[in-house]
Chain A
Amino acid sequence: MTPTINDLVADLTPVRRLTPAQAWTMTLALTIAAILTIYALFGLRSDVMAGQPAGIVVLRAGALLLLGSAALTAVIAAARPGVGQTSHGWRWALGAALIFPLTSLVIMLAERRLPMAELTSPNGPWCLGISGVSALAIGTALTLWLHRGAPVALNRAGWLVGLAAGSFGAFAYSLHCPSTTIPYVGIWYTLAVGLCALAGRLIVPRFLRW
């Protein structure tokens, strides 16, 4: 039987509103937890521990934080829809982050050779694995939070959850990552974040349908 207005009113209970602070707190807490876990299991970079990180470490961490923050902002907007309310900042952040793979491409073309050292780096799979596991935790929490909301763009929400989770997960890994070359960032970090975004697109929408 289709519920009437009377039924809905009778079923009314106070609800806890979805707020951006909930999503931010949850994401940052899980990112910090990921960093602490990585620190406990693998250790962090010595320059990071000394408070004097190399320039490339700051650059990649900054790009990942920016991308993750922009994607998370879009996820939050998706949870609380409204016609005419758009959140496209993540596109600019993604464009900025793409500077790493693009620079890698330019370097490769200039040197006329593949970056074999980076392509065959033993750290690469670790980058994917640690970033992916961290992203899994963050993405799962974000998906559960988003499920309470009313996302009307499920595929895009999936991409964004994956992008945000992948960016924060890769950020956590970046504080351990021994590599300091741009091609490494352009290859492995791009792959890690890209795979997380793809996984979000493929997996998350089915948990968001309403």
Chain B
Amino acid sequence: MKVDGATLARLMALAQDGDSAAYRQVLQTSSEWLSGFFRRRIAPGAVDDLVQETLLSLHAKRASYDPARPFLPWLAAIARYRWVDELRRSYRTSTDELTGNEAFGPGDDELIARISLDRLLARLPIGQIDAIRLVKIEGLSIAEAALRCGQSEPLVKVNIHRGLRRLAALIESE
């Protein structure tokens, strides 16, 4: 079911006031959107856990949502925070294309482009992107990644470290 941003904002406002039905719809829609948002940006086996963690954060931090503002950027800010946190810990593989906008209605395309994780990754130097994609997302070993991208093993490690720090800083700058 597609839910537009204005409806989500209204539902979330109701949820903040304790409306269970509205909250259930917010969570279900958010869950669908988050699954797409994280797909191919984290190991497939970790997507569900990350979605759950993000929903848990949404629940814990629901007082911080301002109903006068769009819902999606707020959810995306929380999702990116959890994503970088997870990237720092996890490694695996995935192949699906990023979709992640199925749950939202028309008119959200520009917003979705702005908050995409690809866009965030694209702001890193190419060496760091390669290292993070190969090791953190595709699940290769450091040695395999070094062979694949032509970097030395120490450089792959350095690029992952610096790239993740840079991702966290990018989130801070937006």
A residues with CB within 8 A of B = 2-5, 8-9, 11-18, 79-86, 148-150, 152-153, 155-156, 210
Q: Do residues A84 and B73 form an inter-chain contact, with CB atoms below 8 A?
A: yes
Residue interface mask B62-90, A partner, CB < 8 A = 1:
11111101100110111011000000000
- CB of B94 within 8 A of chain A? no
Say yes or no: A210 contacts B18, CB within 8 Å. no
- B48-67: which have CB < 8 Å to A? 49, 52, 55-57, 59-67
Given A8-B56, A155-B172; A15-B70 close (CB under 8 Å): no
A3 to B31 Cα, complex, angstroms: 13
* Residue in B closest to A5 when the chains form the complex, CB atoms: B27
Q: A-B contact count, CB below 8 Å?
A: 101
Chain B residues, Cβ within 8 Å of A9: 20, 23-24, 27
Q: Is B114 an interface residue (CB 8 A)?
A: yes
Shortest distance from the beta carbon of A90 to any chain B beta carbon, whole Å: 14
* CB <8 Å contact, B61 and A210: yes
Residues of chain B at the chain A interface (Cβ within 8 Å): 15-18, 20, 23-24, 27-28, 31, 49, 52, 55-57, 59-67, 69-70, 73-74, 76-78, 80-81, 111, 114-115, 171-174
Residues of A within 8 A of B28 (CB): 5
Q: Do B74 and A12 touch (CB < 8 A)?
A: no
Q: Is the interface of A mostly helix, strand, loop or mixed?
A: loop
**Contact between B64 and A152 (Cβ–Cβ < 8 Å)?**
no
Show 10 A/B contacts (Cβ-Cβ < 8 Å), sorted by A.
A5-B31, A8-B56, A12-B23, A14-B18, A80-B69, A81-B74, A83-B115, A149-B64, A152-B172, A153-B171
Q: Tell which of B70, B80, B114 touches A152, judged by Cβ atoms closer than 8 Å.
A: B80
Whether A80 pairs with B65 at a CB distance below 8 angstroms is: yes
How far does the alpha carbon of A27 sit from the alpha carbon of B85 in the complex, in Å?
A: 31
Q: Which of A17, A18, A86, A152 is close to B78, meaning CB atoms less than 8 Å apart?
A: A152
A17 x B65 contact (CB < 8 A): yes
Q: In the complex, A196→B15 CA distance in Å?
A: 38
Q: Please give, as numbers and ranges, the residues of chain A lying within 8 Å of B27 by CB-CB distance.
A: 5, 8-9
Chain B residues whose CB sits within 8 angstroms of the CB of A210 once the complex forms: 57, 60-61
The answer to whether A8 and B172 touch across the interface, beta carbons within 8 angstroms, is: no
Cα-based distance from A177 to B65 in the complex (angstroms): 41
Complex CA distance for A155 and B165, rounded to whole angstroms: 12
For the complex of A and B, list the 3 residue pairs with the smallest distance between their C-beta atoms, beginning with the closest. A153-B172, A82-B73, A81-B77
B171 surroundings in chain A (CB, below 8 A):
152-153
- The chain A residue sitting closest to B67, CB to CB, is A17
Contacts of A150 in B (CB 8 A): 57, 61, 64, 74, 77-78, 81
